[in-house]
Amino acid sequence: MIEKKLNPLMLVGTGSDVGKSVLATALCRIFQQDGYSPAPFKAQNMALNSYVTPDGKEIGRAQAVQAEACKLPPHTDMNPLLLKPNSEHTTQVVLNGKPIGNRSAYAYFRKEGREELRTAVHEAFDRLSARFNPIVMEGAGSVSEINLRESDLVNMPMARYADADVLLVADIDRGGVFASCYGSIALQTEEDRKRIKGIIVNKFRGDIKLFEDGRKILEDLCKVPVLGVVPMFNDIVIDAEDSVQLEYKHHNALQGKINVAVVLLRHISNFTDFSAMEQDERFNLFYTTNAEDIEDADIVVLPGTKSTANDLYWLRRQGLANAILRAHRAGKKVIGICGGFQMLGQSVNDPDGIEGSIKSMPGLALLPIDTTLTSDKITQQVEFEFGGHICKGYEIHQGRSTNSQKVVNIGNCWGTYIHGFLDNEVVINFFADGKGDNKSSWTSLEDYKEEQYERLANHIRKHVDIPQIYRIITHK
């Protein structure tokens, strides 16, 4: 049976963090459940949370998650342009999975040179569109940043190129949903307004029946149907795109749990490294910038960062470096991943100014390594041995350390460049230290993720008019 050709569908937002990525993930799984062969696409992503594809290239984590929902391996065509903010007002530009240099915001958004990037993202979309059906597209930030209209690569100009139907996503929890929806549509050109075929009101709290009048008012005001009002949920776990949510994950130490303090670095990256431990009922994982929290924890984690030397300097200024050392002397376990691993060594050196103006910083000296940052970037999926088992993960880092072991361990301190280190059952069971008969709370992380994608799809089917979406994107 030949599947019916569907038009590309793009989700745009009234602002950042309105839930576009999660809704796109849900639609990817729904189309896959219904027998189609969907694939995600986001022309340009700005995030420090990235992922390495099987061929050793880098894309935004959100598109890797959406690929999983489609039951596909992630590919750079799904996110051809990735921006990774550095310290000191510059951004690393990753094109088709490989860094092409650092640029200031002004230099990046100026008109000169944009057509080269525009051509690259269009070519990626064309390759993807030739293989998959439908393409579930995602915009970025607010769709109504009219001052950036001419240089925009990811919102309505991309929708025009793809001839996509567009749904506008609004976050009712932050307030102002009527003004944000009306303004987002009214500020479009006449041509682009015609592309917006529906509104999804996201993150609703309370009784949805109370919004029936609001729904009608919104439709009359915007001249666009409201295709769904999606309740806020806290019981479905989908990897997030950025670190905004981490500010709310502060908890006190709990009796009877293994308390894990993840230091909330200013330039934290790949915080999804802790998703498995966060969901394991044996652990109480929280993010903190408080020295007492660090000293009281059973395990202290230094996560990855986009600016190692800068965040190491910040650790010292905040008194957190000494708190980590005191916890280590008290016998607490200390784990460093990627940039955190570099910080645990003897020194971090940046002679060429790869990350910024700090040329060298002494490390915490808990591990026998010295690190020099280099312009070439390592991005690869890897295997490593732990406790007699072969484990998997991936590396994304600029820099070389003097110890070539995949996992370096001295006493109660561990360090590794491997993201996904704590996703492996044998590793997480080791750090569980015998609690719960040393068994994780789920059969496997893969099974757990699959369950979450299915639950998410069911949640969205219940609250969004999926048949109407099919009517919108079906070619006449």
In a domain, 285, yes or no: yes
> Looking at residue 210, what is its pLDDT?
86
In a domain, 4, yes or no: no
Tell me the pLDDT tens digit for each residue of 136-151: 999 999 999 988 888 8
Report the domain count for the chain: 2
Q: Based on the domain organization, do 226 and 301 belong to the same domain? A: no
H or E element at residue 226: strand 226-231
Q: Does the pLDDT of residue 436 top 60, yes or no?
A: no
Residue type, 465: D
In a domain, 352, yes or no: yes
Q: Based on the domain organization, do 427 and 290 belong to the same domain? A: yes
From CA 308, how far away is CA 314, in angstroms rounded? 10
Q: What is the CATH number of the domain that holds 121?
A: 3.40.50.300
In a domain, 294, yes or no: yes
Q: Does the pLDDT of residue 200 top 70, yes or no?
A: yes
In a domain, 455, yes or no: yes
Q: Does the pLDDT of residue 55 top 90, yes or no?
A: yes
Q: Based on the domain organization, do 424 and 455 belong to the same domain? A: no
Please check whether residue 76 is in contact with residue 57, taking contact to mean a CB–CB distance below 8 angstroms: yes
Q: Based on the domain organization, do 277 and 191 belong to the same domain? A: no
Q: Based on the domain organization, do 182 and 329 belong to the same domain? A: no
Q: Does the pLDDT of residue 267 top 50, yes or no?
A: yes
Q: Based on the domain organization, do 97 and 205 belong to the same domain? A: yes
Tell me the pLDDT tens digit for each residue of 279-296: 899 999 999 999 999 999
In a domain, 197, yes or no: yes
Q: Based on the domain organization, do 214 and 154 belong to the same domain? A: yes
Name the residues annotated as catalytic. 338, 419
Domain that holds residue 404: 245-441
pLDDT category of residue 437 using cuts at 50, 70 and 90? low
Spatial CB neighbours of 112, under 8 Å, sequence gap ≥ 6: none
In a domain, 24, yes or no: yes
> Looking at residue 2, what is its pLDDT?
55
Q: Based on the domain organization, do 416 and 271 belong to the same domain? A: yes
Kindly state the average pLDDT of the residues 314-331: 96
Average pLDDT, the chain: 91
HSE, side-chain direction, 13 A CA sphere, residue 451: 10
C-alpha distances (whole Å) from 53 to each of 56, 59, 194 are 5, 7, 36
Q: Does the pLDDT of residue 250 top 70, yes or no?
A: no
Q: Based on the domain organization, do 264 and 192 belong to the same domain? A: no
Q: Does the pLDDT of residue 307 top 60, yes or no?
A: yes
What percent of the chain has pLDDT above 70?
Answer: 92
In a domain, 1, yes or no: no
Q: Based on the domain organization, do 204 and 299 belong to the same domain? A: no
pTM for the model: 0.85
Kindly state the average pLDDT of the residues 389-408: 92
Kindly state the average pLDDT of the residues 323-348: 96
